[in-house]
Amino acid sequence: MLDNLVVMPTCLPLVLRRCHACASERFRASGKFRVNANHKLIDAWLLVLCTACGETEKLTVLERMNVRSVRPELLDRLHDNDPGLTAELLQDPVVRRRNRIALDWDNAWRLDTGGSDHLDREVIDVSVRFTAPIPVRPVRLISEGCDLSRAEVERLITEGKLVSAVRLSGRLSGGFTFTLKR
């Protein structure tokens, strides 16, 4: 039997970018977009606000695109300030690269363990699923999901009692499975 752990966002991540007004490095999404259509060309930005001074900065979503090449559904969502669109765009690596931003997911996600009735079995196979690509430490997830201290998790890895096809050191942002033998 496979147990499931799910990593899910609880709110939008912060945007890491230096503020030109106060040198703070964190912005939060305003939830608003600005769209500028000039003849056949369209620009669109996601507006973010400095968490320290409130300065507004624009993240480029569309840059001088021909209006007819933009999906009408996307235009509607931009004009409606669709809240789900902000989350989708921040998770889009193309948008992040274009704007040279990274995301700060601290305190913006949680682990759904689906109860803890699996904890007393001798061997458990666990599948970890991500509903958004949130970079987290597997050791932290396993510690929280299996109710073990991080030191215990490290020890079980060293002793070969906690195994996975992926490297459990560092961070992961996509699904993986592991087996725990006690």
Binding residues for Zn ion (CB under 5 A): 19, 21-22, 24, 50, 52-53, 55
Q: How far is the CB of 48 from Zn ion (least distance, A)?
A: 11
Q: How far is the CB of 151 from Zn ion (least distance, A)?
A: 39
Place of tokens 């699904």: 175
Q: Which is nearer to Zn ion, 11 or 22 (CB)?
A: 22
Structure-block tokens of residue 110: 């949680």
Q: Which is nearer to Zn ion, 28 or 34 (CB)?
A: 28
Q: How far is the CB of 13 from Zn ion (least distance, A)?
A: 18
Q: Which is nearer to Zn ion, 20 or 71 (CB)?
A: 20
Q: How far is the CB of 18 from Zn ion (least distance, A)?
A: 9
Task: Give the DSSP H or E segment for 129.
Answer: strand 123-130
- Which one-letter DSSP state was computed for residue 119? T
Around Cβ 89, how many Cβ atoms within 10 Å?
Answer: 20
Q: Which is nearer to Zn ion, 11 or 53 (CB)?
A: 53
How far is Cα 58 from Cα 33, in angstroms, rounded to an integer?
9
From residue 121, how far is each of 55, 60, 179 by CA, in Å? 53, 51, 12
